[in-house]
C-alpha cells in the first residue's frame, strides 16, 4: 500500500464515509430529479423551473446495464501506467435514481466475469499514481453474495 | 403548400486521408453538384455550409469560405454547426430559405480534413467539461459503442459474429463505390481476427475518421420544373429534433444518463426518424433503402430498429437472412456506410443524401437497389445533435 497522499481526481464528485464510497449528487427540490455530476443551477426537466437543489449521496449499489473494457491506452488527459494495463468498464443502473452511471471496474474483474443485471457496489480506488500522489476515482465492484458458485 | 424541395444535383470528393485543405474537397464536390444539376454557380442564391472545427477560422465560417473559393457572386451565406448533423442543419437552413420564397436554388456543402489517429480532447485541466472528464477517467468513444453492442448481446442474444456480418455486408457494398475510402472485401474470419478495441468490438467493427467533401444543389419545385427537372428526387422531410429529457441511453460524452426519477426516459435515436416519418407522411413500410450512421457495426443494428425497419431486438436476424444486403428486402448502407468511408463529420450527413439521390435516380451502378422509391438517412452526434432525412422519387 502506497503511503503517498491520496487525492480525488475530481474534487467533490465522490467521498468515503466509514469505509463506504458514495457519489455526490444533487436532487431538485421542485421535481425530485437527481443529478450526477451535481447540478445546482437550473433543473433540466422541461416541466420544472426550480433553481433549488439539495446535496445527496447517490445509491452506492446498482445493477449492470452493460459493460466493456479498454484494450488500448486512451489519449490525454488519461494518465496511463507504463506499460498500459487494460481495464474493465461498467454502466450501472441505480434503482432509486433511475440513472445509469459509468465507471471503471476494480482491478482483477474481467468482461467475462460480468452479466447484465449483476449487483455492483461503489468503491474508491486508484486511478493513477505519480511520484508524489495517488489519484483516486470511483470504481464499480461486483457485490460478493457469498457461497454462490 | 408542399413542404418538399428538389435535389437538382449532387457531388462528392472521394473520402480518404489526402492531407489537402478542406476547401479543395468542398469546391470539387460543389463543382460536380453544379454540373450534375445543370445550374450555373452565379445562379445560386444561398450557400449553406456545414462547419468544421478542425480547420481553423475558415472552417468556422465554412459557408463563406466555400462561397469565396467558388468566387464571390453576391449570394447570401450561412454556416451551421451541429456535430455529426451539421450537414443536415445546413440543408434545413436552405430548405427554410427556399420554402419561404427568399431563394430559388441553393448550394449545401460540407468538407473536412481530419488529423491522424484518435480524436482527442483539447488540452488543459477542465473538470467542468464532460468531454474532458470522461477521457480523464478512461472513457473513450469506443467505450460507448461497445456498451451499446454488449447491451444488444445481453438483451437480444446478438453475437460478435452478427456484428462481423454487418462489416462483411458493408465492405461488399462499398467495394465498387468510387467515393469510398476503403474498397476491400472482408471475410467474417478477418473481422474476428482483428484486434479487440473495446470488448465486444474489434478494430474492424469501428469506423475511422476521413477527409471528404459532399455538396447538394437544392431548389423549389417550381424552379426545378422551370429548368426541365420536374422529375428530380425530392426531400420530403428533414428532422433535426433535440432529445427529450430524460435520456434513456448513456450518450457520449456523458458520465451518466439523466435521472428518470421524476419523468419518463426517452430514446433520442428513435425520436429522430419518428419526426421525419411524421413530417413526410411516409410509413417505415414504404422505405426502400436506408443510409445509417454505422460508427460501429452493432450501431447499424440499433439504427434499423430506431428507423422501425424491424421490431426491437430483431435486427440481427435481418442481417443474417441477407435482408439488408443489396438485393434483399430492405438494403442498409448500400454506399458501404461509415465502414467503407470513415467519418468526415461536416460532409457525412450530406454524403448520405448524395447516395440516396443516386439510388432513387437509378444511377448507383453496381450498388443499385432495384426500384428504390423512398430513402431515409439517420445520424447522431454529440450534445443532442442528430438528423434524419427522407428522400422520395
pLDDT digits (tens, 9 = 90+) for B99-147: 999 999 999 999 999 987 666 677 788 988 988 999 999 999 999 999 9
CATH topology of domain B5-117+211-234: Peroxisomal Thiolase; Chain A, domain 1 (3.40.47)
Question: Which residues of B fall within a CB distance of 8 Å from A96?
Answer: 261
A97 and B132 within 8 Å at the Cβ level: the answer is no
- Please report residues of A whose CB lies closer than 8 A to that of B242: none
Of the residues B130, B244, B262, B313, the best mutation for testing chain A's interface (the one with the most A CB atoms within 10 Å of its CB) is B262
Domain ranges of chain A: 8-142
Q: Which of B127, B150, B257 sits opposite A68 (nearest CB)?
A: B150
What ipTM, to 2 d.p.? 0.96
State the smallest CA–CA distance between residue B392 and chain A in angstroms.
35
Written as nine digits, the cell of B226 is: 422551370
Query: What is the mean pLDDT of each successive set of 10 residues along chain B, which is 393 residues long?
Result: 91 97 98 98 98 94 98 98 96 98 98 79 84 95 97 98 98 98 97 98 96 98 98 98 96 95 96 98 98 98 98 98 98 98 97 98 98 97 94 97
Q: For residue B145, what is the nearest residue in chain A, using CA coordinates?
A: A68
What's the pLDDT at B119?
63
Q: Chains A and B: how many Cβ contacts under 8 Å?
A: 138
B211 in Cβ contact with B20 (< 8 Å): yes
Q: What is the mean pLDDT of chain A?
A: 94
Determine, for residues A98 and B118 on separate chains, whether the beta-carbon distance falls below 8 Å: no
Q: Between chains, do A70 and B137 touch, taking CB under 8 Å as contact? A: no
Q: What is the pLDDT of residue B247?
A: 94
The sign one gets for the Cα dihedral B192, B198, B201, B204 is: negative
CATH number of B141-208+236-392: 3.40.47.10
C-alpha distance across the termini of chain A, in Å: 30
Decide if B198 and A68 are in contact by the 8 Å CB cutoff.
yes
CA distance B49 to B65: 9
Q: How far is B201 from chain A (nearest CA, A)?
A: 9
Which chain B residue shows the shortest CA-CA distance from A91? B147
Q: What is the DSSP letter of A116?
A: T
Report the sign of the C-alpha dihedral through residues B362, B364, B370, B374, in that order.
Answer: negative
CA dihedral B25, B31, B34, B38 (to 10 degrees): -150
Q: Is residue A23 within 8 Å of A36, Cβ to Cβ?
A: yes
Only one residue has cell 426516459, namely B265
Instruction: Map residue A113 onto helix, strand or coil.
Output: helix
Buried b (16+ CB within 10 A) or exposed e, B175-205: bebebbbbeeebebeebeebebbbbbbbebb
DSSP string, B110-161: EEE-PPSSS--PPSS--TT-HHHHHHHTT--HHHHHHHHHHHHHHHH---HH
Quote the minimal CA–CA distance from B346 to chain A in Å: 23
Q: What are the sequence ranges of the domains in chain B?
A: 5-117+211-234, 141-208+236-392
Percentage helix, strand, coil, to 5, in chain A?
Answer: 0, 45, 50
Dihedral sign of CA atoms B240, B245, B250, B254 in order? positive
Q: CA B149, B154, B158 angle in degrees (round to 5)?
A: 60
Contacts of residue A89 in chain B, CB cutoff 8 Å? 138-139, 143, 147
pLDDT at B117: 62
Handedness of CA B70, B72, B75, B77 (dihedral sign): positive
CA distance B391 to B373: 8
Taking alpha carbons only, the member of A94, A98, A93 closest to residue A31 is A98
pLDDT band with cut points at 50, 70 and 90 for residue A3: confident
DSSP string, B168-211: HHHHHHHTT-TT-S------HHHHHHSPEEETTEEGGGB--B-E
- Going by C-alpha positions, the residue among B62, B91, B59 that lies closest to residue B77 is B62
Nearest to B260 among A37, A48, A98 (CB): A98
Judged against a pLDDT cut of 70, whether residue A14 lies above it is answered with: yes
Give the tens place of pLDDT for each residue, A86-144. Answer: 999 999 999 999 999 999 999 999 999 999 999 999 999 999 998 899 999 999 999 98
Contacts of B256 in chain A (CB under 8 A): 36-37, 99-102
Euclidean distance between CA atoms B45 and B321, whole angstroms: 47
Beta-carbon contacts of B354 under 8 Å, excluding residues fewer than 6 positions away, are B10, B11, B12, B214, B216
pLDDT at B39: 98
Find the residue in B nearest to A116 (Cα). B154
Nearest-by-CA chain B residue for A65? B151
State whether residue B351 is helix, strand or coil.
helix
Residues of chain B with C-beta less than 8 angstroms from the C-beta of A101: 255-256
Strand partners, B48: B78, B108
Q: What is the pLDDT of residue A13?
A: 97
Interface test with A, best of B126, B135, B137 (most A CBs within 10 A): B137
Q: What residues of A are in contact with residue B139 (Cβ under 8 Å)?
A: 74, 89, 102
φ, ψ at B235 (rounded to 5°): -95, 120
Amino acid at each position: 500500500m502506497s503511503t503517498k497522499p491520496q487525492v480525488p481526481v475530481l474534487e467533490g464528485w465522490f467521498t468515503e464515509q466509514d469505509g463506504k464510497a458514495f457519489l455526490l449528487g444533487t436532487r431538485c427540490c421542485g421535481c425530485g430529479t437527481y443529478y450526477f455530476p451535481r447540478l445546482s443551477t437550473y433543473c433540466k426537466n422541461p416541466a420544472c423551473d426550480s433553481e433549488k437543489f439539495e446535496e445527496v449521496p447517490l445509491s452506492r449499489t446498482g445493477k449492470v446495464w452493460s459493460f466493456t473494457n479498454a484494450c488500448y491506452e486512451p489519449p490525454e488527459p488519461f494518465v496511463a501506467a507504463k506499460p498500459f494495463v487494460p481495464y474493465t468498464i461498467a454502466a450501472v443502473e441505480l434503482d432509486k435514481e433511475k440513472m445509469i452511471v459509468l465507471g471503471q471496474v476494480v482491478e482483477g474483474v474481467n468482461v467475462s466475469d460480468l452479466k447484465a443485471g449483476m449487483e455492483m457496489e461503489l468503491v474508491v480506488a486508484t486511478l493513477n499514481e505519480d511520484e508524489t500522489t495517488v489519484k483516486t476515482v470511483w470504481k464499480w465492484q461486483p457485490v460478493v453474495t457469498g457461497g454462490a458458485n | 403548400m408542399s413542404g418538399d424541395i428538389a435535389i437538382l444535383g449532387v457531388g462528392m470528393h472521394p473520402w480518404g486521408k489526402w492531407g489537402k485543405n478542406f476547401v479543395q474537397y468542398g469546391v470539387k464536390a460543389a463543382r460536380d453538384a453544379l454540373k450534375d444539376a445543370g445550374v450555373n454557380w452565379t445562379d445560386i442564391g444561398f450557400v449553406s455550409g456545414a462547419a468544421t472545427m478542425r480547420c481553423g477560422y475558415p472552417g468556422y465560417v465554412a459557408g463563406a469560405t466555400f462561397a469565396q473559393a467558388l468566387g464571390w457572386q453576391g449570394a447570401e451565406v450561412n454556416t451551421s454547426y451541429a456535430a455529426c448533423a451539421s450537414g443536415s442543419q445546413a440543408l434545413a437552413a436552405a430548405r427554410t430559405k427556399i420554402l419561404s420564397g427568399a431563394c430559388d436554388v441553393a448550394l449545401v456543402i460540407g468538407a473536412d480534413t481530419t488529423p491522424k489517429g484518435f480524436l482527442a480532447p483539447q488540452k488543459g485541466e477542465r473538470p467542468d467539461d464532460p468531454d474532458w472528464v470522461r477521457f480523464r477517467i478512461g472513457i473513450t468513444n469506443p467505450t460507448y459503442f461497445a456498451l451499446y453492442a454488449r447491451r444488444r448481446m445481453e438483451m437480444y442474444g446478438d453475437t460478435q459474429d452478427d456484428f462481423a456480418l454487418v462489416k462483411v455486408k458493408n465492405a461488399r457494398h462499398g467495394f465498387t463505390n468510387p467515393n469510398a475510402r476503403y474498397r476491400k472485401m472482408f471475410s467474417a474470419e478477418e473481422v474476428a481476427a482483428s484486434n479487440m478495441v473495446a470488448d465486444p468490438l474489434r478494430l474492424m467493427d469501428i469506423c475511422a475518421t476521413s477527409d471528404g467533401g459532399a455538396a447538394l444543389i437544392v431548389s423549389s419545385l417550381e424552379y426545378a420544373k422551370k429548368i426541365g427537372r420536374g422529375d428530380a428526387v425530392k426531400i420530403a422531410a428533414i428532422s433535426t429534433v433535440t432529445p427529450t429529457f430524460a435520456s434513456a441511453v448513456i450518450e457520449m460524452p456523458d458520465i451518466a444518463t439523466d435521472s428518470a426519477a421524476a419523468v419518463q426516459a426517452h430514446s433520442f435515436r428513435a425520436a429522430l426518424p419518428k419526426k421525419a416519418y411524421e413530417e413526410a407522411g411516409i410509413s417505415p413500410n414504404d422505405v426502400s433503402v436506408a443510409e445509417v450512421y454505422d460508427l460501429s457495426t452493432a450501431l447499424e443494428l440499433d439504427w434499423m430498429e430506431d428507423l422501425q425497419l424491424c421490431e426491437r431486438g430483431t435486427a440481427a436476424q435481418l442481417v443474417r437472412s441477407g435482408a439488408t444486403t443489396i438485393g434483399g428486402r430492405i438494403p442498409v448502407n448500400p454506399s458501404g456506410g461509415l465502414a467503407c468511408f470513415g467519418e468526415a463529420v461536416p460532409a457525412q450527413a450530406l454524403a448520405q443524401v448524395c447516395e440516396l439521390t443516386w439510388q432513387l435516380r437509378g444511377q448507383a451502378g453496381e450498388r443499385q437497389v432495384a426500384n428504390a422509391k423512398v430513402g431515409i438517412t439517420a445520424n447522431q452526434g454529440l450534445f443532442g445533435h442528430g438528423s434524419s432525412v427522407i428522400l422520395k422519387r
